Structure 1
Amino acid sequence: MHVYEDNYCKYDDHMLQLFTSSLYLAALVASFFASKACTVLGRRPTISMASTFFIAGAILCSVAEFKWMLIFGRILFGFGVGFGNENLSRPSSRTRNRPLTRIFNHHRNPGQPHRKAALKKVRGVEHVDAEFHQIVLACEHGRQVKQPFKKIFRKSGVPALVVSNMIQVFQQFTGINAIMFYAPVLFQTLGFQSDASLFSSVITGLVNVGATFVSVYTVDKVGRRTLLLQACVQMFISMVAIGGILLVHLKPTGSLDKGLAAVVVILVCTFVMSFAWSWGPMGWLIPTEIYPIETRTSGFAIAVSTNMIFTFVIAQAFLSMCHFKAYIFFFFSAWIVAMGLFVLFLLPETKGVPIEQVEERLWKQHPVWKKFFQYEGVARWHE
């Protein structure tokens, strides 16, 4: 791809927007079916279904001769994303030191000795009777809930519902799409010519993957809030700096000075880096950690749907937002400030909190969200 003519609005095309956003709309629809499939059939059949959709979409896109074939193939990819994402809510997707409920789930007699032995192995200690009993009670209570969506929308379910869904909204409004979209323009300025798109994808992709490993190794050491807040500062500085340079020096036609372009490429990489170890993975991890066992799968399905809705909105509108020119970077900078304030005041730290204790140790201890549990006992007694 060789970027030319208008540096900001070269690809303002409604058909291209439909092609891009159709995946997310399909994933939104699929997530509701995937939640039920994952609960009834289990993880492996659901993953197999996701794989089938991916393969069918790839085949259709590879042989496509008409636009509708490409769009339909993209929709099949969306179904694959919907079914694949749902499996993130299962216990095995949690971090290494807290996948305990999978030892007990889907068994009618969770008191068998080998399950207690497994818990001892995970914890590395012999005295686990109190925790074992607590997990057993939580799993039994979870199996007895017949209408998890009703429970989610009770007053005590509001904190987890708000936090998990706002994280999905913020993930899409970080501005990562703006960064990725304008990257080829910057790489072309550096002299990559027609290979600008390829080189920008390779370099930002490598930075993305490398930074994701940073998240894997640090998330249980420094905590979720620390990663998110640090990333907000780094993303804000990168975004404002990129916007300022482009506002002053990049016109609709022409190119940047190579020195400035190199600076902006470095800023792009620092932005991608901070997103990849924070809002990228945390957007999927945190919603699996803040719901109690009985509403976890349903709550995550709602979070996935919210993510797909706002990804669809961004994908459908983003190419037209090019008319903001460099100001689009300041638009997303304002969202990053809002994200930081949200984490600072409303997001509890889930590090080291077992899933069977999320209500007691997260929500009932939080200065804002604990108000939603003040009359919880009375409400349950009446039920």
Structure 2
Amino acid sequence: MAGGFVDAGNLKRAHLYEYKITGYFIFACIVAALGGSLFGYDLGVSGGVTSMDDFLVEFFPDVYRRKHAHLRETDYCKYDDQVLTLFTSSLYFAALVSTFGASYVTRSRGRRASILVGAVSFFTGALVNAFAKNITMLIIGRCFLGAGIGFSNQAVPLYLSEMAPAKVRGAVNQLFQLTTCLGILVANFINYGTEKIHPWGWRLSLGLATVPATIMFVGGIFLPETPNSLVEQGKLEEARRVLEKVRGTTRVDAEFADLVDASNEARAIKHPFRNLLARKNRPQFIIGALAIPAFQQLTGMNSILFYAPVLFQSLGFSNDASLFSSVITNAALVVGALISMALVDKFGRRAFFLEAGTEMFFVMIAVTITLALKFGEGKPIPKGIGIFLVIAICLFVLAYGRSWGPLGWLVPSELFPLEMRSAGQSVVVCVNMIFTALIAQCFLISLCHLKYGIFLLFGGLIFIMSAFIFFFLPETKQVPIEEVYLLWQNHWFWKRIVGPGPSSASQV
């Protein structure tokens, strides 16, 4: 039996799918999407905390002295400290390890179970960080936070894609990105306020991460499991009840039959990770599991998110101004996510990737040229140039927020068949976290030594990524999730690589 091929005749039932947008469906998706707020809160809070003097005095006194010494060195280099960057990156190293455990839990116990485990782990990490007395406690707390992110990022995109009807799957899945953006924005507002609370404001910033974790756990207790996962676990009667309740109709025979067919094929796969490497699955593995999550980080966006306050301070802004500027840029991220939610199912994934990629490329070039001409060692930049840089970064963030940010999670969650969905998502999260951690660890040192050249490097990578999307990514808008696999098999490029796919599972 095929790994991942759904009978082509059965897939013609997709036009028979019926649904209504019910309150039950909305509740389930909003609660599950709160997993993104864990990721977003940490992205937003860590950069602000590492720029706070009270935090630096207690844990990184050398960085604090360099920050205020007005040394005759490039201002970027004042924050070049590998232990300081380890405070940020350790979370992502922990996340990439935990995601493989999350894959087992997600497949065997369900998406809901992984969401609950993620909330508990994140809550624990937030408490440890809030009461940290030394760097070791900080890193241990970050590892618990990372495990929480590994579980939630594994389960939430799958949960949202499986619960959503095909025609609105793009918008529903992007609730994850929206809550991530809102988490970042809230964290920046909190940092803006706690920076004025001496000497323990940074502890409040880190400790308030317990709030979204608590909300996610309490809400998760009442979450239904996805029908796909229930069928996969053999709970057919419960799966049908949930499907009827989520879709708001009892006429779910066609969709339920497709889920059962996909599950029957999934049971034949004993080693889903090994099956990912099979020739017939190379398109999804190369594009979805490797390229897209890596490219999402290589845009340079998370470098800006991690270190926005630090970056703005190094460009001559005061501490208050740098935090305020990062609030503005992250508000642009929220706006971008809302634009994408509203329009991605109408215009498609490729259109947003390509349009926004072009904009991001030109913004990076403009930032590079501006810094090369106007930024000097130990000299603050003119006010007008500073405003221009904030506007440019806002435009970059807005473009990312409607393209690589949400689509970097949406597209991979769509393209794997049921039997490989958890395994594939684990690889997606792992690759994402590897590149996130490497960029978090290396960005400040790269900024120090490459200076404005780091932005030119990101611009070049964005150009390459846009070309990659243009040639190799098929459009998946409004396609039922169990049909996406066959869509990839019929893409002109991948047919040449793996050959034409079978018309049914029995032909493998």
TM over 0.5, shorter chain: yes
> Of 126, 130, 152, which residue of structure 2 is paired with 1:62?
130
Q: Would the aligned equivalents of 1:173 and 1:335 in 2 still touch at CA under 8 Å?
A: yes
1:41-56 paired onto structure 2 within 5 Å: 41-56=109-124
SS at match of 1:307: helix
Q: Would the aligned equivalents of 1:243 and 1:326 in 2 still touch at CA under 8 Å?
A: yes
Deviations 1:164-190, CA, capped at 9 Å, x for gaps: 110111111101144443665547868
Residue 85, structure 1, aligned to residue 210, structure 2: no
Alignment match, 1:348: 474
User: CA 1:195 to 1:233, structure 2 compared with 1: closer, same or farther past 3 Å?
Assistant: same
Alignment match, 2:457: 331
Q: Would the aligned equivalents of 1:224 and 1:282 in 2 still touch at CA under 8 Å?
A: yes
Tell me the CA shift for residue 212 of structure 1.
Answer: 1.2
User: CA 1:131 to 1:62, structure 2 compared with 1: closer, same or farther past 3 Å?
Assistant: closer
Deviations 1:25-48, CA, capped at 9 Å, x for gaps: 100110000111122222333222
Alignment match, 2:96: 28
Letter of the structure 2 residue corresponding to residue 145 of structure 1? I
Alignment match, 1:260: 385
Alignment match, 2:187: none
Q: Would the aligned equivalents of 1:151 and 1:157 in 2 still touch at CA under 8 Å?
A: yes
Q: Would the aligned equivalents of 1:103 and 1:118 in 2 still touch at CA under 8 Å?
A: no
SS at match of 1:215: helix
Alignment match, 2:281: 157
Letter of the structure 1 residue corresponding to residue 468 of structure 2? F
Q: Which moved more, 1:42-51 or 1:148-157?
A: 42-51
SS at match of 2:77: coil
Q: Which moved more, 1:84-93 or 1:56-65?
A: 84-93
Alignment match, 2:76: 8
Q: Which moved more, 1:231-240 or 1:85-94?
A: 85-94
Alignment match, 1:194: 319
Tell me the CA shift for residue 132 of structure 1.
Answer: 5.4
1:233-272 paired onto structure 2 within 5 Å: 233-272=358-397
SS at match of 1:353: coil
Tell me the CA shift for residue 255 of structure 1.
Answer: 1.7
Distance in 2 between the 1:66 and 1:183 partners?
23
SS at match of 2:76: coil
> Of 253, 272, 282, which residue of structure 2 is paired with 1:148?
272
Normalised by the length of structure 1, the TM-score is: 0.88
Normalised by the length of structure 2, the TM-score is: 0.68
Deviations 1:209-230, CA, capped at 9 Å, x for gaps: 2221112111111111111111
> Of 357, 361, 367, which residue of structure 2 is paired with 1:232?
357
1:156-175 paired onto structure 2 within 5 Å: 156-164=280-288, 165-175=290-300
Structure 2 unpaired stretches of 5+: 1-50, 54-66, 170-224
Tell me the CA shift for residue 279 of structure 1.
Answer: 0.6
Distance in 2 between the 1:66 and 1:162 partners?
41
1:125-140 paired onto structure 2 within 5 Å: 133-140=257-264
RMSD (Å) for aligned C-alpha atoms:
3.0
Q: Would the aligned equivalents of 1:89 and 1:297 in 2 still touch at CA under 8 Å?
A: no
Tell me the CA shift for residue 292 of structure 1.
Answer: 1.3
Tell me the CA shift for residue 17 of structure 1.
Answer: 1.9
Distance in 1 between the 2:88 and 2:235 partners?
48
User: CA 1:363 to 1:119, structure 2 compared with 1: closer, same or farther past 3 Å?
Assistant: farther
User: CA 1:154 to 1:229, structure 2 compared with 1: closer, same or farther past 3 Å?
Assistant: same
Give the count of matched residue pairs. Answer: 377
Q: Would the aligned equivalents of 1:188 and 1:196 in 2 still touch at CA under 8 Å?
A: no
Tell me the CA shift for residue 312 of structure 1.
Answer: 1.5
Letter of the structure 2 residue corresponding to residue 340 of structure 1? S
Distance in 2 between the 1:109 and 1:253 partners?
65
Letter of the structure 2 residue corresponding to residue 92 of structure 1? L
Alignment match, 1:300: 425
Letter of the structure 2 residue corresponding to residue 345 of structure 1? F
Distance in 2 between the 1:194 and 1:117 partners?
51
Distance in 2 between the 1:95 and 1:336 partners?
32
Q: Would the aligned equivalents of 1:89 and 1:296 in 2 still touch at CA under 8 Å?
A: no
User: CA 1:284 to 1:65, structure 2 compared with 1: closer, same or farther past 3 Å?
Assistant: same
Alignment match, 1:312: 437
Distance in 1 between the 2:159 and 2:496 partners?
28
Q: Which moved more, 1:277-286 or 1:44-53?
A: 44-53
User: CA 1:152 to 1:261, structure 2 compared with 1: closer, same or farther past 3 Å?
Assistant: same
> Of 335, 338, 342, which residue of structure 2 is paired with 1:210?
335
Distance in 2 between the 1:47 and 1:169 partners?
24
Q: Would the aligned equivalents of 2:340 and 2:403 in 1 still touch at CA under 8 Å?
A: yes
> Of 19, 23, 47, which residue of structure 1 is paired with 2:87?
19
Tell me the CA shift for residue 15 of structure 1.
Answer: 0.7
Q: Which moved more, 1:137-146 or 1:232-241?
A: 137-146
Distance in 1 between the 2:238 and 2:162 partners?
23
Distance in 1 between the 2:103 and 2:389 partners?
42
Letter of the structure 1 residue corresponding to residue 417 of structure 2? P
Deviations 1:72-97, CA, capped at 9 Å, x for gaps: 11111111110111113434345842
User: CA 1:148 to 1:89, structure 2 compared with 1: closer, same or farther past 3 Å?
Assistant: farther
Tell me the CA shift for residue 373 of structure 1.
Answer: 3.9
User: CA 1:95 to 1:337, structure 2 compared with 1: closer, same or farther past 3 Å?
Assistant: farther
